[in-house]
Amino acid sequence: MSHSTISDSPLQDARVAILGLGEVGRIYGTALADAGHRVTGFDPYLQEAPAGVEVADTLEGAVADAQLVVTLTAASASRSVAEAAVAALAHDAVYADFTSSGPTEKRALATVFEGREDVRLADVAILGPVIQLGTATPLMAAGPAGDAVAALMRPLGTPVEVVGGDLGDAMAHKLLRSVFMKGLASVVVEAVGAGRGAGMEEWVRGQIAGVLAGDGQAVIDRFLTGTAKHAARRAAEMRSTSAYLSDLGVHAEMTDASVAAMERMAADGIRS
């Protein structure tokens, strides 16, 4: 196969390099090999080669002939791995950063590839637990090579949403989603724990389920208007809630954070 630019149609028999062969890298590497791609991997801490993946002795060796490079290292290694790979990349290669580094760090990767205008870049955010969901885990891709990532991953059964924008925009979407998803999860854990401590767990679960099953946009609008409008009164109520959770022996980090947020909103309202 020649070093032609990867198209945006579903890929077949592609040469793929996986940088980082931890649990996630192993899952994707084996799935890509099973799909008929030639997969080469590199990980300096590798214990055992994933099924179907040829392990290279060096990072440069892993990427030298790859049409598409997938980086699945720790976020802290995102830039240093790109710096090590850039000179060794094949002509017209796609370089896709799947790490969890932040939007600013992902945007800064463009400076690493100055002088390699032939290389197309993609920022990819993983939107779920790959260890549990495998290749069914949704992805979000942004940057010039976002469509190429979708062409590689969708045939594996991976939902890939390609968003318009530059490097970092996929991760920005994920982190904005995390404000709600991780915050909501923490609030639910705290609320159900409090209900359990008070002997009212099923009632609390019903209250939460009722809100989540309602008209989502109406709930959002109610929260946006009501929280700021009644911030001072609600802060006082949440201080009482925190004291009650303490009596129950339940951790109240999210309740205490709500007190701080509402007191800030109340103060902002007084100043405005």
pLDDT at 3: 37
Q: Which residue has the higher pLDDT, 61 or 47?
A: 61
- Global pTM value: 0.83
pLDDT tens for 170-214 read 999 999 999 999 999 999 999 999 999 999 999 999 999 999 998
User: Does residue 2 belong to any structural domain of this protein?
Assistant: no
What integer best gives the mean pLDDT of the chain?
Answer: 93
pLDDT for 2: 34
State residue 12's pLDDT score. Answer: 78
What does the pLDDT look like over 92-101, one tens digit per residue? Answer: 999 999 999 9
What value does the mean pLDDT take over residues 13-30? 96
Give the list of residues 6+ apart from residue 190 with CB closer than 8 angstroms, or none. 245, 250, 251, 252, 253, 254, 255
* Whether residue 226 is found in the same domain as residue 136: no
pLDDT in the model for residue 8: 53
Find where tokens 């290669």 sit: 93
Task: Please state the domain count of the chain.
Answer: 2
Within this chain, do residues 155 and 257 fall inside the same structural domain, yes or no? Answer: no
Question: Does the pLDDT at position 133 exceed 80?
Answer: yes
Structural domain that includes position 96: 15-167
For position 165, what pLDDT does the model report?
Answer: 83
Per-residue pLDDT, averaged over 126-152, amounts to 96
- Report yes or no: 105 and 123 within 8 Å, Cβ to Cβ: no
Identify whether residues 216 and 199 lie together within a single domain: yes
Quick one: pLDDT band at residue 270, thresholds 50, 70, 90?
low
> Is the residue at 119 inside a domain?
yes
pLDDT, average across residues 219-235? 93
Which of 167, 200, 217 represents a domain boundary (last residue)? Answer: 167
Q: Note whether 128 and 250 are same-domain residues.
A: no
Residue in 99, 140, 75, 119 with CA at minimum distance from that of residue 111: 119
Instruction: Give the end of a domain, one of 138, 167, 196.
Output: 167
User: Within this chain, do residues 157 and 215 fall inside the same structural domain, yes or no?
Assistant: no
* pLDDT score recorded for residue 10: 62
Do 33 and 155 reside in the same domain of the chain? Answer: yes
Structure letter (DSSP) for residue 76: G
Which are the contacts of 94, defined by CB distance < 8 A and separation ≥ 6?
Answer: 6, 67, 68, 69, 119, 120, 121, 122, 145, 148, 149
247: exposed, middle or buried (Cβ count in 10 Å: 0-12, 13-18, 19+)? exposed
Asked whether residue 5 carries a pLDDT value surpassing 50, the answer given is no
Per-residue pLDDT at 164 exceeds 90: no
Single out the residue in 137, 167, 197 at which a domain terminates.
Answer: 167
pLDDT confidence of residue 48: 86
